[in-house]
Amino acid sequence: MTAARTMTLNLGPQHPSTHGVLRLVLELDGEVVIRCEPHIGYLHTGIEKGLESKRYQQGIPLTDRLDYLAPLSNNLVHVLAIEKALGIEVPERAQTIRVLMTELTRIKSHLVWLGTHAMDVGAMSVFLYCFREREQILDMYEAVSGQRLMSSYFRVGGLVADLPMGFEGQVQAFLATFPARLEEYEALLTQNPLWRQRTVGIGTIRATDAIAMGVSGPSLRACGVAYDVRRAAPYSGYERYQFDVPVGKVGDVYDRYTVRMAEMRQSHRIAAQALQHLSPGPINVADPKLIPPPRKLLKTSMEALIHHFKLYSEGFSVPAGEVYQAIESPKGELGVYLVSDGSNRPYRVHYRAPSFANLQALPRMVEGRLLADVIAVIGSLDIVLGEIDR
Amino acid sequence: MIETTGQAPEAEGLVLTRLREQFGGALLEVKVWRYETTVLLAPQDLVRVCRYLRDHPDLTFDFLSSVTGVDRLKLPENSPRFEVVYHVYSLQHKRRLRLKVRVADDEGVPSVTGVWEGANWHEREVFDLFGVPFEGHPNLCRILMPDDWEGHPLRKDYPLEASPKWWEEEPA
């Protein structure tokens, strides 16, 4: 009798530990994964197609929905690409606020990763603590933009509004308590024998393979490659900040954990510096073609009224050409390729989503390992299907 | 005025000098705009240029950021119709470069999966959304759209709102 040795198992798309709607077709020999084939596209919403029909400013809220755990990183790369094509640079205060907010976003995104990853592996309580701190950052989102999740706070040429009164105190209060909180999480996990058994030596990938697959962000740095866009090609004034780029050694699940924990400390450090750098000044470029005039001017200035009307009926045009802008999002190298035909709508926008390339390396990490490890590895990659499927 | 993407003009010159020395006429067009270099290649030259870019010690473009497409249908100059765009990066030299090839509707592009393994999914995405086939790709099938989908959504003649034929209900 020749019984089939292997079994095919569908993991997802409706499985809580696939972090959204990822479907893996696994070929199993007992509990060992022989072959892993990711199927994506369940969250495809045609964002790139949709952006082609929207004026440049109108596209910003769509970008929030890519990596919905780090909406401000998506906003940032989108407006930076348009600003690069326009050839403008925003004032220093706007840059500092952008850095402050995106670093808080990184902490927020990493907190969701840590909570869900630990829960996948069986450590329930970490999740509750992480969401407690995340709540404070969501409150800051609400304070600056009125929205807790899809904030769309950045605009081409600056910001939608200046920081509200008392915001700096709110950030300071968070920064004062956060390092102690991080130590609490680490006390629960870092030396925990159960945690180490589930993560050390699991899902290992070599640096050369990771580079060939286009893996970026903490998952690449866990292999010992210190590639961080903030350092390699600074944007928004990152060259003015002191921070380290944490790297791992072997590139397993545990290294990805330690790298992200260290990154939260670095983000804390950058946010504290940004708060210090924060000096009064304009938050928008002084160009009425890009930035709507102050409300009170509309009643007295004919030109202001014309600019206001043109901006909201037609938008602004971007010179014909193409640019690629990359930033370090919490997930890795987030890039935008923007093609302009000189009109007021982008001709083509492509998002280089870090999760897309990182997920591609998943089979390399899990084939030949146990089924239970697949769950730990997915968690350690920190994928967001919103930006994978776009 | 605006930040460069980490590449000094003279460093860009080095990449172009090396490429011109090695390939000369294969570089159909070179453009530098906003400190970014774009090199247009003929499809048949793509793979050997990519391999050279990855392996030459002065260049080491080892990291493929993305592969994507542009449907030029509505641009003033639109023949051949499709453009496949590659963004490559050198981790060691911190340099970025954009490569392009242009193909007509029914033509294929050689796959660069043999040079950068990570091109696999990116090329599948271009195939799925633009309908550009990649020759020598190990597993060329749709990636974001369902397998039985008709048409390629990012083509400029594909409607933004779905026409009824995609939503017709099956007869009871």
What would the mean pLDDT of A268-279 be, rounded to a whole number? 92
A368 in any annotated domain: yes
The set of residues, in sequence order, having a beta carbon less than 8 Å from that of A306 and lying 6+ positions away, is none
Using a CB-CB cut-off of 8 Å, the residues of chain A touching B85 are 337, 350
What's the confidence (pLDDT) of residue B170?
Answer: 55
A293 in any annotated domain: no
Using a CB-CB cut-off of 8 Å, the residues of chain B touching A49 are 153-154, 158, 160
Chain B residue closest in CA terms to A232: B94
A291 in any annotated domain: no
What's the confidence (pLDDT) of residue A49?
Answer: 92
B2 in any annotated domain: no
Predicted confidence (pLDDT) per residue in B35-90, tens digit: 888 999 999 999 999 999 999 888 899 999 999 999 999 888 888 999 999 999 99
Give percent of chain B above pLDDT 90: 51
Please check whether residue B60 touches A, CB under 8 A: no
A162 in any annotated domain: yes
Determine how many CB atoms are found less than 10 A away from the CB of residue A367: 15
Q: Shortest Cα distance from B36 to chain A (angstroms)?
A: 7
DSSP A208-246: HHHHHTT--THHHHTTT----HHHHS--TTGGGS-----
Q: Which domain holds residue A338?
A: 7-285+317-389
Please check whether residue B66 touches A, CB under 8 A: yes
Chain A residue closest in CA terms to B93: A232
B1 to A87: CB separation less than 8 angstroms, yes or no: yes
Using a CB-CB cut-off of 8 Å, the residues of chain A touching B37 are none
Interface of B with A in 137-166 (CB under 8 A): 142-146, 153-154, 158, 160
Of A89, A235, A352, the CB nearest to B87: A352
A363 in any annotated domain: yes
Give percent of chain A above pLDDT 90: 63
B45 in any annotated domain: yes
What's the confidence (pLDDT) of residue B7?
Answer: 47
What would the mean pLDDT of B87-104 be, rounded to a whole number? 92
Q: Shortest Cα distance from B155 to chain A (angstroms)?
A: 9
Q: Provide the ipTM.
A: 0.89
Q: Which domain holds residue B153?
A: 9-166
Per-residue pLDDT band at B171 (split at 50, 70, 90): low
B134-135 vs B109-110, strand pairing mode: parallel
What's the confidence (pLDDT) of residue A287?
Answer: 87
Q: What is the DSSP letter of B131?
A: -
- pLDDT greater than 60 at residue B3: no
Using a CB-CB cut-off of 8 Å, the residues of chain B touching A350 are 66, 68, 85
What would the mean pLDDT of A40-67 be, rounded to a whole number? 91
A307 in any annotated domain: no
B77 in any annotated domain: yes
**CA A100/CA A271 separation, integer angstroms:** 5
Predicted confidence (pLDDT) per residue in A334-354, tens digit: 999 999 999 999 999 999 999
How many domains is chain A partitioned into structurally? 1
SS (H, E, C) A32-74: EEEEEEEECCCCCCCHHHHHHCCCCHHHHHHHHCCCCCCHHHH
What's the confidence (pLDDT) of residue A191?
Answer: 87
DSSP three-state, residue A279: coil
How many domains is chain B partitioned into structurally? 1
Q: What is the DSSP letter of A150?
A: -
Mean pLDDT value across chain A: 91
B109 in any annotated domain: yes
DSSP three-state, residue B24: helix
Interface of B with A in 39-58 (CB under 8 A): none
B153 in any annotated domain: yes
- pLDDT greater than 70 at residue B164: no
Predicted confidence (pLDDT) per residue in A199-235, tens digit: 998 989 999 999 999 999 999 999 999 999 998 889 9
Q: Shortest Cα distance from B87 to chain A (angstroms)?
A: 8
Give the CATH number of the domain where residue A154 resides: 1.10.645.10
**CA A328/CA A230 separation, integer angstroms:** 6
What's the confidence (pLDDT) of residue A174?
Answer: 93
A312 in any annotated domain: no
Per-residue pLDDT band at B19 (split at 50, 70, 90): confident
- pLDDT greater than 60 at residue B172: no
B144 to A40: CB separation less than 8 angstroms, yes or no: yes
Predicted confidence (pLDDT) per residue in A372-389, tens digit: 899 999 989 999 998 999
What's the confidence (pLDDT) of residue B11?
Answer: 55
Using a CB-CB cut-off of 8 Å, the residues of chain A touching B93 are none
A310 in any annotated domain: no
Predicted confidence (pLDDT) per residue in A56-105, tens digit: 989 999 999 999 999 999 999 999 999 999 999 999 999 999 999 999 99
Whether A39 contacts A23, CB under 8 Å: yes
CA distances from A262 to A20, A157, A222, A314 (A): 26, 32, 11, 46
Residue type at position A157: G
B35 in any annotated domain: yes
The set of residues, in sequence order, having a beta carbon less than 8 Å from that of A339 and lying 6+ positions away, is A321, A322, A346, A347, A348, A349, B70
**Tokens, residue A25:** 């077709």
Give the CATH number of the domain where residue B100 resides: 3.30.460.80
Whether A385 contacts A40, CB under 8 Å: yes
Chain B residue closest in CA terms to A350: B68
Chain B residue closest in CA terms to A38: B143
What would the mean pLDDT of A319-338 be, rounded to a whole number? 93
- pLDDT greater than 50 at residue B2: no
Predicted confidence (pLDDT) per residue in A238-268, tens digit: 999 999 999 999 999 999 999 999 999 999 9
Per-residue pLDDT band at B6 (split at 50, 70, 90): very low
B171 in any annotated domain: no
B75 to A87: CB separation less than 8 angstroms, yes or no: no
